[in-house]
């Protein structure tokens, strides 16, 4: 009983102290306002007296203005400065008092809850109060705190929230104790009572516009399954309860604009779902679990975009994070559950997710175009799911091909429908496709045994080249304001340059393949002759194989390869330059001329390594082409200038 008296005295003292703090705050505000009014009246009277004095004498007015004007301005400014400093210090004192009062209230309610729990334990250990009496006392205490908080709400808003939150906590503890410690009520009854306490807390929070109470109620609602758990698998009951809670949070957060409740509900739902799954999930629960998982996903998807679609509000950073986490956590858990049975259809599941987010992106843009970040996030998530669907459903070369085609489709669609906001994602998907092309076809080991120009690697490079040109065209047509991350004209130039680079690379690789196949044939003949040497002896080898002849063939083939590459580069530079003038494209002309100089440098380096015949062929071929080009520039310089200046 002594502890109970201490707790009651503490509450009374706490109320008294809070009242004194509130009175001090009110008194300080009144004194501050009265002081300001007094200072203003004094200044007004001072100005009136100066006006009357100035009317008596013109000369004295001048002298008074000269002598007193500076002093009065100094006094006025110093008075204002001192008043401002006093107001600032008073405001700081009041705010510090308010903060201290709030923290004191929080500490007090925690100590009160601890005291109640200690008292219940003490009463239980010593049989001071019967089991039923303990529960009734706890219920009365919780209801009393709620009533007291509601009574004081008009004058002490923050303090009222603390008291009512404590009352909700006492009710939770009492109902839990009556079930877990005293066995007075069964699990279903305890579950219903705890749910009613949650509903009561949320209802009061809506009526009183108290976010704290709503947060306490939601927190209590999500810990209820832990409190009344009997170690049994009640999947449908548990997930139905969570579903009801989530729908309630969705309605309240939208109605009261309490977005933080969505974050609490998502965390609580995830913890309960994962806790149940780790202990009870098996393949036989697949369909019912997937149903509830999908329901949870849709609730939080609506919760994060509804405020924008219906009210046109701009989405904040935490909401964007929840949009992303909700999407990929749902896809990841669904993939883990469905992949075993439906492996062949998982790519279509990713496509379905992409279509859903494409639809949301369309609705978001149509609703309001001012939330650029949400529009970009929704379209980005859709494209990411579409990109993931390709390696999930396809394999091998088809993955690279599909990614390159996807990049073109994204760029084309974003150009046709500028409001779709997909422009930034085309280059990203294209880069992903090119990285896979090089990693699987080049860096993993180039197969020179394939037929030159008629193989899947060259086919993929042709597709990549065409895709780069098409992307460059699309971004050249786009407006500057249509792309958020990249500037379209810069992107168009980058794709044009890259298309030419991979064209040169792929053609050079295929020309090299021709001669590398011949070199491999020479090595094969040499290996065969080595086997014959082992089988038939050195005498027969001398008649059939000359190692110096094999080495000379290899050197000759390497010279032929370098010469062919030089001629190829020269012809490509000519084609680019001619195309630049024909199409009036400065980029083509510049790249063609640049490639002329690159080819000249290559020939200059190769001259010292090639054989005499191939050295002559390379030099003469490039020299003739360069002279012809120079002659064309000289003969048609006026027309060329006209084309350049257009």
Does residue 59 sit in the same domain as residue 146?
no
Residue at which a domain ends, from 230, 247, 273: 230
- Residue 365 resides in a domain: no
Residue at which a domain ends, from 208, 230, 252: 230
Of the candidate ranges 211-215, 269-273, 408-412, the one whose mean pLDDT is the lowest: 211-215
Residue at which a domain ends, from 170, 200, 230: 230
- Residue 288 resides in a domain: no
* H or E segment and range at residue 565: helix 547-582
**Tens of pLDDT, residues 56-67:** 444 343 334 434
Total domains in the chain come to 3
- Residue 624 resides in a domain: yes
Does residue 147 sit in the same domain as residue 224?
yes
Nearest to 25 by CA among 149, 158, 161, 148: 158
Instruction: Spell 474-486 as b/e; 16+ CB within 10 A means b.
Output: bbbebeeebbeeb
Higher pLDDT: 514 or 422? It is 514
Across 76-80, 322-326, 632-636, the highest mean pLDDT is recorded for 322-326
- State how far the Cα of 622 lies from the Cα of 604, in Å rounded to an integer: 11
How far from each other are the two terminal CA atoms of the chain, in whole angstroms? 100
- Residue 478 resides in a domain: no
Of the candidate ranges 171-185, 250-264, 372-386, the one whose mean pLDDT is the lowest: 171-185
The answer to whether residues 573 and 596 touch, using CB atoms and an 8 Å cutoff, is yes
Whole-prediction pTM value?
0.70
Residue 264 pLDDT more than 50? Answer: yes
Does residue 48 sit in the same domain as residue 139?
no
The answer to whether residues 602 and 550 touch, using CB atoms and an 8 Å cutoff, is no
Non-local CB neighbours of 176 within 8 Å, separated by 6+ positions: 190, 194, 227, 228
The answer to whether residues 493 and 587 touch, using CB atoms and an 8 Å cutoff, is yes
**Tens of pLDDT, residues 607-617:** 666 656 666 77
Does residue 144 sit in the same domain as residue 190?
yes
- Residue 142 resides in a domain: yes
The answer to whether residues 293 and 334 touch, using CB atoms and an 8 Å cutoff, is yes
Rg (CA), the chain: 41
Of the candidate ranges 43-52, 162-171, 253-262, 600-609, the one whose mean pLDDT is the lowest: 43-52
Nearest to 625 by CA among 588, 571, 575: 571
Does residue 136 sit in the same domain as residue 222?
yes
Read off the tokens for 558.
């390497």
- State how far the Cα of 177 lies from the Cα of 286, in Å rounded to an integer: 35
Q: How many residues does the chain have?
A: 646
**Tens of pLDDT, residues 150-186:** 887 777 777 777 778 888 888 887 887 787 777 788 8
pLDDT of residue 5: 39
Higher pLDDT: 192 or 112? It is 192
- State how far the Cα of 431 lies from the Cα of 436, in Å rounded to an integer: 9
Does residue 63 sit in the same domain as residue 150?
no
pLDDT of residue 60: 43
- Residue 205 resides in a domain: yes
- Residue 524 resides in a domain: no
Nearest to 510 by CA among 547, 551, 456, 465: 456
SS3 355: helix
Domain range for 41 = 2-93
Q: How far from the centroid of its chain's Cα atoms is residue 31's Cα?
A: 51
pLDDT of residue 300: 95
Across 164-178, 254-268, 434-448, 580-594, the highest mean pLDDT is recorded for 254-268
- State how far the Cα of 142 lies from the Cα of 166, in Å rounded to an integer: 7
Non-local CB neighbours of 302 within 8 Å, separated by 6+ positions: 250
- Residue 313 resides in a domain: no
- State how far the Cα of 430 lies from the Cα of 403, in Å rounded to an integer: 7
Residue 458 pLDDT more than 70? Answer: yes
CA-to-CA separations, 347 to 295, 389, 399, 403, in angstroms, rounded: 21, 4, 12, 14
| Ramachandran quadrant class, 312 (left: phi over 0; alpha: psi -120 to 50; beta: rest) | left
Count the helix, strand and coil residues of the chain and give each as a percent rounded to the nearest 5. 85, 0, 15
Neighbours of 369 (CB within 10 A): 12
């Amino acid at each position: 009983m002594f502890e109970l008296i201490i707790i009651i005295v503490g509450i009374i003292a706490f109320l008294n102290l809070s009242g004194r703090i509130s009175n001090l705050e009110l008194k300080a505000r009144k004194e501050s306002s009265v002081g300001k009014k007094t200072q203003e009246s004094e200044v007004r009277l001072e100005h009136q007296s100066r006006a009357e004095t100035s009317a008596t004498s013109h000369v004295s007015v001048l002298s008074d203005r000269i002598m007193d004007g500076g002093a009065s301005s100094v006094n006025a400014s110093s008075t204002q400065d001192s008043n401002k400093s006093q107001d600032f210090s008073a405001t700081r004192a009041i705010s510090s008092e308010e903060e201290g009062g709030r923290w004191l209230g929080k500490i007090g309610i925690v100590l009160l809850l601890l005291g109640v729990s200690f008292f219940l334990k003490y009463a239980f250990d010593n049989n001071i109060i019967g089991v039923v009496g303990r529960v009734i006392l706890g219920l009365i205490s919780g209801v009393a705190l709620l009533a007291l908080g509601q009574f004081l709400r008009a004058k002490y808003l923050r303090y009222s929230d603390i008291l009512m939150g404590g009352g909700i906590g006492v009710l939770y503890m009492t109902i839990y104790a009556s079930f877990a410690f005293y066995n007075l009520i069964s699990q279903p009854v305890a579950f219903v009572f705890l749910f009613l306490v949650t509903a009561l807390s949320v209802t009061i929070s809506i009526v009183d516009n108290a976010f704290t109470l709503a947060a306490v109620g939601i927190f209590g609602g999500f810990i209820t399954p832990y409190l009344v758990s009997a170690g049994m698998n009640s999947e449908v009951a548990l997930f139905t309860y969570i579903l009801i809670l989530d729908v309630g949070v969705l309605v309240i957060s939208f109605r009261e604009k309490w977005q933080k409740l969505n974050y609490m509900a998502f965390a609580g739902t995830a913890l309960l779902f994962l806790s149940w799954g780790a202990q009870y999930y098996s393949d036989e629960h697949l369909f019912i679990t997937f149903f509830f998982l999908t329901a949870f996903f849709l609730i939080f998807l609506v919760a994060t975009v509804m405020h924008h679609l219906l009210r046109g509000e701009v989405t904040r950073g935490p909401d964007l994070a929840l949009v992303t986490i909700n999407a990929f956590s749902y896809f990841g858990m669904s993939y883990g559950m469905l992949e075993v049975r439906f492996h062949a259809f998982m790519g279509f599941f990713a496509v379905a997710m992409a279509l859903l987010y494409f639809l949301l992106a369309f609705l978001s843009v149509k609703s309001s175009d001012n939330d650029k970040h949400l529009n970009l996030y929704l379209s980005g998530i859709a494209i990411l799911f579409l990109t993931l669907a390709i390696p999930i459903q396809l394999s091998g070369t088809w993955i690279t091909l599909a990614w390159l085609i996807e990049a073109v489709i994204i760029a084309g669609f974003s150009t046709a429908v500028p409001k779709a906001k997909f422009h930034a994602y085309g280059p990203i998907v294209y880069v992903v496709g090119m990285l896979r092309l090089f990693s699987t076809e080049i860096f993993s080991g180039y197969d020179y045994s394939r037929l030159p120009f008629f193989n899947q690697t060259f086919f993929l490079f042709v597709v990549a080249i065409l895709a780069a040109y098409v992307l460059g065209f699309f971004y050249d047509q786009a407006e500057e304001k249509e792309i958020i991350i990249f500037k379209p004209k810069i992107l168009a130039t980058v794709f044009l340059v890259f298309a030419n680079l991979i064209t040169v690379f792929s053609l050079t690789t295929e020309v090299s393949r021709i001669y590398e196949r011949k070199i491999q044939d020479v090595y094969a003949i040499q290996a065969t002759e080595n086997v014959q040497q082992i089988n038939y002896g050195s005498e027969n080898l001398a008649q059939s194989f000359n190692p110096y002849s094999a080495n000379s063939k290899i050197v000759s083939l390497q010279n032929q390869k370098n010469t062919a590459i030089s001629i190829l580069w020269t012809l490509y530079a000519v084609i680019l330059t001619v195309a630049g003038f024909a199409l009036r494209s400065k980029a083509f002309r510049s790249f063609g001329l640049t490639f002329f100089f690159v080819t000249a440098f290559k020939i200059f380096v190769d001259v010292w390594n090639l054989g005499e015949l191939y050295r002559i062929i390379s030099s003469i071929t490039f020299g003739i082409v360069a002279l012809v080009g120079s002659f064309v520039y000289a003969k048609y310089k006026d027309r060329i200038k006209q084309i350049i200046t257009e």
